[in-house]
Structure 1
């Protein structure tokens, strides 16, 4: 295994471990299901949301067939991303792909274990008497977004020599 590929594998494993450890801690140690929402800061809460869809709650499904289709699509995506990662020549792209793979596997584990993805992080802000909030997300989602940002950065700002086959 090349050092570049190793960095992608390490990123995938780290994202997966951090994601699953945070979810297990919140569900079984902190017991967020019993406690309910917990304010951490004036702009950040821990809440429990079961996402039966994909990113941002799109394509919500409660049917076993729908969940199976989502897992199958995710499995194909992970295999294709792993092939891309194995062929990648830049550390930035390889790490980005590893983060996406680790996040995707983390959310897929939730789907198998619970029938839905465990989301728990909620950022919000008060402005002009109204509360504005972002989607509830998890560490796997953060890894996926960070991976996409790394790929975009590598695509636009990576060195031309590093991009050559």
Structure 2
């Protein structure tokens, strides 16, 4: 479980520090856009009131608290699940997911929405969506949980 908590804390701190830097130092919420390495990496401010890709973002105030409750419920379930999990990479993956989820919960409480600011495009495709460090960690953690949890495959004995 130690790897789980370390991953969760590292992701949470990196996420919150990056958002503080974007909002307080860069003032991206006032500038809206800043090109770093166009088109590959840009800063594009977006307040996400919904879930991924802005889904369910037309709701009113109570929706924010429902999304917070869902994120906290899933976080509690991940903590319970990881207590039973033995594989180290599963613990890291669960920690990534937990740290990212809690980072976005803090945004919803503090700002009323999640602060998204990273934007990447490539190869003639212009990506209209922004994301943040927490979103990257949630995605990586979910993929890791798929890959690294469950019963390890048993090797078959080769029979002649």
- With normalisation by structure 1, the TM-score equals 0.86
Assess, with a 3 A threshold, how the Cα gap between structure 1 residues 150 and 134 changes in structure 2: closer, same or farther: farther
- Unaligned runs of 5+ residues in structure 2 are 156-160
1:8 aligns with 2:4: yes
Q: Residue 133 of structure 1: SS of its match in structure 2?
A: coil
Structure having the larger proportion of residues in strand: 1
Assess, with a 3 A threshold, how the Cα gap between structure 1 residues 35 and 91 changes in structure 2: closer, same or farther: same
Question: 1:36, CA displacement in angstroms?
Answer: 2.5
Query: RMSD of aligned C-alpha atoms?
Result: 1.9
Q: What is the total number of aligned residue pairs between the two structures?
A: 154
Structure having the larger proportion of residues in helix: 1
Q: Which runs of 4+ in 1 moved over 3 A?
A: 155-161
- With normalisation by structure 2, the TM-score equals 0.89
Contact kept? 1:7, 1:95, Cα under 8 Å:
yes
Contact kept? 2:87, 2:149, Cα under 8 Å:
no
| Among 105, 108, 112, the residue aligned to 1:111 | 108
CA distance in 1, matches of 2:153, 2:19: 38
CA distance in 1, matches of 2:2, 2:154: 22
Residue 138 of structure 1: aligned partner: 132
Question: 1:158, CA displacement in angstroms?
Answer: 4.9
